[in-house]
Amino acid sequence: MAALAAAAVLSAVLASRRALALAVSAGGCLAALALAAPPAVQVLLGGGTRTLTWTNPVLGQQALVLDPLAAWFVVPTLFISTGCAVYGVRYLLAGDRPVGMQAAGTNLIVLALLTVFLAGDAILFLAAWELMTIFAFLLLTHEHDRAEVRRAGLLYLVLTHAATSCLLAMFALLSIHNGSLRFGTGAALSPGAASALFTLAVIGFGCKAGAWPLHIWLPAAHPVAPSQISALLSGLVIKTGIYGLLRATLLIGRVPMTCGAVLLGIGVASAVLGVLAALAQHELKRLLAYHSIENIGIILIGAGLGSMALAAGRPAVAAIAFAGALLHVVNHALFKSLLFLSAGAVGRACRTLQIDRLGGVLRAMPRTGTSFVIGAAAICGLPPLNGFVSEFLVYMALLAACAVFPVAGQAEAVFAFAALACVGGLAAACFAKASGAVFLGAPRTPAASDAREAPGAMVGPMLALAATCVIAGLSGPWLLRVLDAPVQQLGGVSLAATPARQGLIATAALGAALIAIAGAIALIRRGLLHRQPAESSVTWACGYAAVTPSMQYTASSFARPLIAVFRGVLLPQRRQIAAVAPFAATVAVEEHSPDPVERFALDPALRGSGVGLALLRRAQPTRVQSYVLAIFVALIALLWWRLG
Amino acid sequence: MTNVALDIALVLALVLGVASLGTSRLGAAIRYFSMQAACVAMVPLLIETRSGELSVHAWILFVATMVLKVSGVPYFLNRSLREASVRTEIEPLIGFGTTLAIGAGLVALSFGLARQLPLPQKPASDLLIPIAFSLLMIGLLLIVSRTKAVTQVVGYLIMENGIFLFGLILIDVFPYLIEIGVLLDLFVAVFVMGIVIFHINRAFDHIDSHQLDSLKD
Amino acid sequence: MRTALHLAILLLFPPLLPGVINRVKAAFAGRRGPPVLQLYFDLWKLLRKGAVYSVTTTWIFRAGPVVTLAALLVAALLLPFGGGLPAPAAFPGDVVLFAYLLGAGRFATVLAALDTGSSFEGMGASREVTFAALAEPALFLSIAGLALARGTLSWTAMLSGQMPAWHLYGPAFAMLIGALILVALAENSRIPFDDPNTHLELTMVHEVMVLDHSGPDFALILYGASIKLFLLGAIIVRLAFPFEASIRAHVALFLAGMIVFAVVVGLVESTFARLRMNRIPQILIAASVFAALAMAVILIRVNA
Amino acid sequence: MLATLLLLPPIAAALSLAKISDRLRLQIFRTTAFAHLALSIALWVRPGGELFGGFVSLDAVGLLILSPTSALFAGVSVYLGGYLARAERRSHRIFIASLLVLEGALSLACASQHLGLFWVALETSTLVSAPLIYFHHTGRALEATWKYLIVGSVGIALALLGTVFLAIAATNPSGGSTLWIRDLMAAGSHLSKPWLHAAFVLLLMGYGTKMGLAPMHAWKPDAYGEAPPPIAGLMAGTFTNCAFLGVLRATQICAHAGEAKFASSLLILLGLVSLAVAAVFIVGQADYRRLLAYASVEQMGVLVFGLGFGVLGAQGSLLHVLNNALNKGILFLAAGNLLQLYGTSAISGVAGALRRTPATGALLLVGLFAAVGLPPFGLFISEFMILRAALAGGASAWPAGLYLALLAVIFLGMCVAILPMAQGDDSPREARVAEPLSTLLPPLAFAAAALLLGVYVPPPMARLIDSAARQMGGG
């Protein structure tokens, strides 16, 4: 951590030397990785905790605690932030804005992230939490001369802070109950109090995580940030919400089953609505942002189910559910940062991320494109990649829960199971659309056809992440070992004692089998084709000869049937300029699906309270007589109230 | 005998206060205040004579009040008035009749309020507290209802007289120095207000605080 | 030995099914129809041909059929063909892997279609993902229903020795079979969801996606399609004919069941018309509702 | 030492009234302010004894409030060098003298052990701040000054009445009474309840007017909006704290009389009303100086709100006093730089400060983050402590919930207003402006101090806060 702080200071000082500052920042991340990863991995493998305590004169004892749960989040943070920082060097140098803030901020936010994970007392946690919010805000408003960037930044800052108020209340109540600000274990609270605290935690952490319906900041903020910051935000920062929730479940202890059920419900809503909204997006990073909501939903399904299972006294089910949630945290961090990084590379090369203006980028940017496709397959949960493994655990936990829960829980688990299936299908549709329209086919605009492959310093982190996605998908037995300690901490039993053990091993083996069989088929195919040279031709267009790239099926059309099916949820708005005559010059159809929460809840609420406050302000007196009158009236009123 | 004198002084102070509510001429308001201050200044002496000997403290209080409030303050106010062209309250925020009616109500309220607050020790006169409250209320009412800056200062001063009366319940609680400090502060306050009125006069060509309402959100 | 038998059935039998279906349809139309083994001939011919690639395509296009077939083959390893023939790979949760392998195959096909840049193939891909996404809940609900009824998370245990279960859950299983048949028809682009024999690209779903594939690639696709039909059919057959017998009799029974399944598909294809595209989602949702109802029945029985 | 500290400013004021150059006057001010700062730091190490027959003595609370006052004056004395150089030419005779008297009066207020003396000190400070507000001699400044004077005078009159009432409440059977703070506390439950209650209401209203608690706050945006920003900063950071000391003393006495419940109900009510009023006017505010004034109303609200929750809350409030003073220093001094640079106090007239003047822009952001209670600044800690006290001590969670909600609304309003000033497009792009070090160093120093208090409260200070807060617990 010291290395990070030093690097932050150094890169802030070096702000004027752009390249150097960024390099120092990346170096800082690397140093932190080298220093902090070994103890974290040790804790994961060996269990146990490491603690560093000191005493604060006004707040009492404070501590940094590295326990398995913290370590589980620390390790990916170190790796991914390093990748993002390396990527950022070349990415930011291509722009013309000052980079000092970015360089220092990247280190500082990683520092804040690590502190959030390691904090052993409420104040340290909350301080790091808020600092993380500030740094994230400063990083994502890199291009703050653009109004939309400022708006997104503001939305992020204000919403997450409002949610943090709940956390302040929660930790304050918890510390009052425990008599200390230090984190304890499982406060023995009455069910009512536990539910209240849990609710506060869900609101506070849910907003940061991007859980529906508190997610509105997320699709606004991610697209406007520099890509490596989007990756950091989506990969790591929103995960702190999950970490917080899991930590809170540990701190609060036993909560009634309804709490977990509500969390599960939020998870299902986030997953389904997130993926549907993603389907309707036209901008690549915005689409990815909505997928973050979807994946957070999947994680929350796991977390909520785990909590339900603990309440129902089914630790084995809880262990599988928590394992799924935890694993998905890391997996999502991996493939989502991979996707954002590759999207950033495309945006930088083509100067647009409007999906319908791209196309065929894979041939110009083979490594970036391949990374993206791997990430896309991973995020859809397709075997043999890593996304599957964690979703598999969540599915399994849901099925297991079906068998053992009381009937209401059973019904909810079944519902979640079906919803998750639907989400899987929709995610696949959405990423088929995204990768197809951006990377495949022919370029739709000159910007897309002029694309060049990104420099090595940007491609390197992407390829590394892509490779990790593949490897993590095939390393089930190893995952079983590293997951064991944090899962035990949360669920109380070892993962190895659950059916998940066989599942993890078998999926890894079959994943390898899949790759082997595909390889074999590919070899056979090559052998067959070897005899006959392959020919090249234009795409068969059913007899039509003059095919142009603009005739390709667009991403919007691609998603259109599904949007039509779900129009009751998405409420698309259509703007159409119909052809009035043959050969009309302008014919246009536009369809947008603004976020219903934003459209029907946030905007009217803001507008309404704005009007209300303006009315109140209009009542403001301006004369000194009125000022004194106010005092006079207040005096009489108070005397009346207290003495009368 | 002294009791009667004390009561007369107190009632006179109240009447003068009510009179200042009813007048439209600024000069008269200042005069009423000065007379009221004189009445109030007598009160400590009258209280002390009731118990026999007159303390130095009471004398100092009397002299200081006479010098600062009865002569000093009106002098300054009249001086700042000299610059002004308009010397009558033309358009009060609340009409004179209404003000008087409200004033009467407030006086009644004050008598009621005084009943709620029984003194730990029996005061020199049972009119002391109600009238002190009344002066307080009248002063505030004057500030609230009038538009001329000078009238507002007068209102503030009448309020101050009321507080002074309260202070007389326990003469020796304020050491001399602090008592003098209080009076001096009051005097300086009026001095500063006078300067500001002078500036207002010059800047806005009137001393009407009515139009001082450009500061808002 | 059993694994070898399993693999043999798996690899050799599937291309027979489309032949049977076509013969049934021909019989209904009063024609003689192609030979039952037509698909074997086609595959043989295609494998020996060269391939033509569009200039817009990349490795994705070439990888599509390979990945699709590989995914289907691995999925097939998870499916038991009856008490005597357990799946070569069985573990708790293999049901999920099975469904996701089908998804992986579809994803590869769709990407390959989009790689051509053709509007027709884009259209087909769009329909494919739409219907697949809508069919997913029905499939998973059916899986969950079976899992709950049989108290297991693995196909092998789920699809064997289920006579007693039928007594308890008969109505639910019937509904599940209905849902699964709908899923199977949709997944395999059969009437009423899609008409494999249509000649108008605009109305196609699956066929239009593979327009640009040729030679061995196309062979892989056709072969894969028959395996997919076989797999979904196998589930339905195992569920509908829950009888156990000696291994030899069992294999015969199972294969007979598969042929019956093909005949039923042929019957459906002959007697129904293809639906309008915008009606298809409703049918798929109806399938989910069936499955959900079945689930409800199972829930009641389980907790009784 | 204490005597020197108290006498130094008036003597310097007298000096500065002599016919000397403005440069020299400023020099006198600067020297005095720093000497004052040095002395008040020294008082931490070696507490001064009693002076003038015990009228003057610095207890824990007094020292806690004196220290930031002293620091703020020192900072402003440096800042004024750069600020006045860029302001219009005008004699500084009265200005500097008033500043020095203000410093003296506020120090006296902190150290006075007699409520009468305290009142005199505070009234003096009210009067001398009038010329400070009027410094720019504009019509608007005049209006502000007038309003300030009238409202302030009414307020201070109420405080005087409250003081008298307190004396009445303390009447002992022999007819004697007292206004010595220690005697009043010792009198405890012997105080007459109705008079004590009335006295508390009046003191709260009176000193509350000086603090700028709603609904007595109306003078504040006018005065802070028109006074030179460093003066507004001084008032917001020192003057209001000293007025808070008055409320603190009254609460102390109430607590010792066993009437803590009575006091806290009023404190909580006024605190929440202030927060609410601040929230209403901060959201949608168009003028950044008035915005900061309402932010000050908010902080005052937080102070009394915290005071309503016993020892724990008082701890938070006392820490909050320090933090708020520093924060106001940062914000108003940064606002002064912006005012001089952009020539307007309209929020819409300022954009892209981070680009045009990076240091001030950064200070503005830091000030904003500190003001809205974000870590690592001290307000975060103190606001959390107050929240915790409110949840721990309150019979119901409503006050704490309202407090949080209102703070969140204020957060929104402040961010909406200030972020576009610091960030944003500064087109037409103008060259970066180099600002004099004297206008940057003081706010930077305050920022550093605020950061320090957020990260680490020095143990002596923690002890002092603790012992001062225990006084609020009664008995």
Section A174-194 average pLDDT? 81
| Chain A interface includes D286 (CB < 8 A) | no
**How far apart are the two ends of chain B, measured CA to CA in Å?**
58
Q: Residues of B with CB below 8 A from D117's CB?
A: 178, 181
In whole angstroms, what is the distance from residue A146 CA to residue A124 CA?
34
Section A112-117 average pLDDT? 89
Q: What is the pTM of this model?
A: 0.91
- Identify which of A306, A308, A294 has the alpha carbon closest to the alpha carbon of residue A238: A294
In whole angstroms, what is the distance from residue B134 CA to residue B14 CA?
7
Looking at residue B38, what is its pLDDT? 92
Share the mean pLDDT of chain D: 89
Looking at residue C162, what is its pLDDT? 67
- Chain mean position to CA A580: 45
Looking at residue B192, what is its pLDDT? 83
- Identify which of D412, D266, D318, D327 has the alpha carbon closest to the alpha carbon of residue D75: D327
Parent domain of C18? 2-303
CB D270 within 8 A of CB D303: no
In chain B, the DSSP E strands lie at none
Q: What is the pLDDT of residues A36-78, one digit of tens each?
A: 788 888 888 887 788 888 888 777 788 888 888 988 998 898 8
Instruction: Give chains near D: 3+ CB pairs under 8 A.
Output: A, B
Which of C107, C220, C292 minimises the CB distance to A525?
C220
Task: Choose, out of A631, A633, A639, A643, the residue to mutate when testing the contact with D (most D CBs < 10 Å).
Answer: A631
In whole angstroms, what is the distance from residue B199 CA to residue A186 CA?
69
| Chain A interface includes C132 (CB < 8 A) | yes
Q: Give A611's contacts (C-beta < 8 A, 6+ positions apart).
A: none
Q: Cis omega (within 30 of 0) on the bond before A68?
A: no
Looking at residue A58, what is its pLDDT? 77
In whole angstroms, what is the distance from residue D212 CA to residue D221 CA?
9
* H-type alpha helices, D235-309: 240-256, 260-282, 288-307
| Chain D interface includes A141 (CB < 8 A) | yes
Alpha-carbon torsion, ordered D297, D302, D304, D309, to 10 deg: 170
Are A622 and B216 within 8 A, CB to CB?
A: yes
- Identify which of A132, A135, A129, A122 has the alpha carbon closest to the alpha carbon of residue A56: A122
Name the band, by pLDDT with cuts 50, 70 and 90, for residue D475: very low
Domain count, chain D: 1
- Residue A500 scores a pLDDT above 90: no
Which of A400, A422, A552 minimises the CB distance to C137?
A422
- Identify which of D403, D343, D333, D320 has the alpha carbon closest to the alpha carbon of residue D364: D333
Query: Which sign, positive or negative, has the C-alpha torsion D279, D280, D286, D291?
Result: negative
Q: What is the pLDDT of residues A355-397, one digit of tens each?
A: 888 888 888 899 999 999 999 999 999 988 999 999 999 999 9
Looking at residue A133, what is its pLDDT? 92
DSSP state of B94: S
In whole angstroms, what is the distance from residue C128 CA to residue C205 CA?
6
Looking at residue B178, what is its pLDDT? 75
Pairs of residues, one from chain A and one from chain D, whose beta carbons lie less than 8 Å apart? 153
Task: Choose, out of B115, B144, B153, B204, the residue to mutate when testing the contact with A (most A CBs < 10 Å).
Answer: B144
Q: Residues of B with CB below 8 A from A620's CB?
A: 216-217
Q: Residues of A with CB below 8 A from D420's CB?
A: 150
CB D64 within 8 A of CB D465: yes
In whole angstroms, what is the distance from residue A435 CA to residue A360 CA?
10
Q: C-alpha distances in angstroms, A633 versus A341, A627, A639, B116, D216?
A: 62, 10, 10, 19, 10
Task: Give B113's Cβ-side CA count (13 Å radius).
Answer: 25
Higher-pLDDT residue of A96, D304: D304
In whole angstroms, what is the distance from residue A110 CA to residue A5 CA?
9
Q: What is the pLDDT of residues C115-147, one digit of tens each?
A: 888 888 888 899 889 888 888 899 999 988 888
Share the mean pLDDT of chain A: 86
Q: What is the pLDDT of residues A437-462, one digit of tens each?
A: 888 888 888 888 888 888 888 899 99
Are B210 and A622 within 8 A, CB to CB?
A: no
- Identify which of A94, A80, A107 has the alpha carbon closest to the alpha carbon of residue A14: A107
What H or E segment, with its residue span, contains residue A60?
strand A60-66
Closest-CA residue of A relative to B106 is A636
In whole angstroms, what is the distance from residue A143 CA to residue D178 CA?
64
Query: D123 is written with which tokens?
Result: 């009234």
Looking at residue D200, what is its pLDDT? 93
Section C226-241 average pLDDT? 90
Are B143 and A625 within 8 A, CB to CB?
A: yes
In whole angstroms, what is the distance from residue A564 CA to residue A568 CA?
8
Spell out, as residue ranges, where chain B has pLDDT lower than 70: 1-2, 83-86, 90, 171-173, 204-211
Name the band, by pLDDT with cuts 50, 70 and 90, for residue D448: very high
Phi, psi of B126 (to 5 degrees): -75, -5
Q: What is the pLDDT of residues D243-268, one digit of tens each?
A: 999 999 999 999 988 888 889 999 99
In whole angstroms, what is the distance from residue D211 CA to residue D208 CA?
5
What is chain B's length? 217
- Identify which of C47, A633, A567, B140 has the alpha carbon closest to the alpha carbon of residue D154: B140
Looking at residue A209, what is its pLDDT? 92
ipTM confidence: 0.89
- Residue D357 scores a pLDDT above 80: yes
Q: Residues of D with CB below 8 A from B203's CB?
A: 139, 142
CB A532 within 8 A of CB C53: no
Q: Can you tell me which residue has the tokens 């520093």?
A: D326
Which of D387, D419, D462 minimises the CB distance to A57?
D462
Fill in the amino acid letter for D99: L
Q: Give C221's contacts (C-beta < 8 A, 6+ positions apart).
A: C65, C68, C69, C109, C210, C213
Parent domain of D171? 2-473
Three-class SS of residue D327? Answer: helix
Three-class SS of residue A362? Answer: helix
CA distance A565 to chain C (A): 7
Query: A98 is written with which tokens?
Result: 């000052």
In whole angstroms, what is the distance from residue A313 CA to residue A253 CA?
13
Task: Give B2's Cβ-side CA count (13 Å radius).
Answer: 14
Which of A402, A522, A531 minimises the CB distance to C66?
A522
| Chain B interface includes D150 (CB < 8 A) | yes
- When mean pLDDT is compared across A188-202, A322-336, B188-202, D57-71, the lowest value belongs to B188-202
Q: What is the pLDDT of residues A563-606, one digit of tens each?
A: 888 888 878 887 777 766 666 666 677 778 788 888 888 888 88
- Residue D435 scores a pLDDT above 90: no
Looking at residue D106, what is its pLDDT? 95
Closest-CA residue of B relative to D222 is B215
In whole angstroms, what is the distance from residue C174 CA to residue C172 CA?
5
Q: Give A163's contacts (C-beta < 8 A, 6+ positions apart).
A: A203, A204, A205, A206, A207, A208, A214
Between helices A257-279 and A191-209, what is the axis angle to 10°? 20
- Residue C9 scores a pLDDT above 80: yes
Q: Can you tell me which residue has the tokens 């949709």?
A: C186
Query: C222 is written with which tokens?
Result: 């056709």
Looking at residue B86, what is its pLDDT? 65
- Domain range annotation of chain A: 1-164+213-236, 256-497, 596-643
Burial D427-453 (b: 16+ CB within 10 A, else e): eeeeeeeebeebbbbbbbbbbebbbeb
Q: Residues of D with CB below 8 A from B207's CB?
A: none
B95 exposure class (CB count in 10 Å sphere: 0-12, 13-18, 19+): exposed
Phi, psi of D369 (to 5 degrees): -65, -40
CB C5 within 8 A of CB C85: yes
Q: What is the pLDDT of residues C46-55, one digit of tens each?
A: 888 888 888 8
Q: What is the pLDDT of residues D123-135, one digit of tens each?
A: 999 999 999 999 8
Q: C-alpha distances in angstroms, B81 versus A578, B213, D474?
A: 78, 22, 51
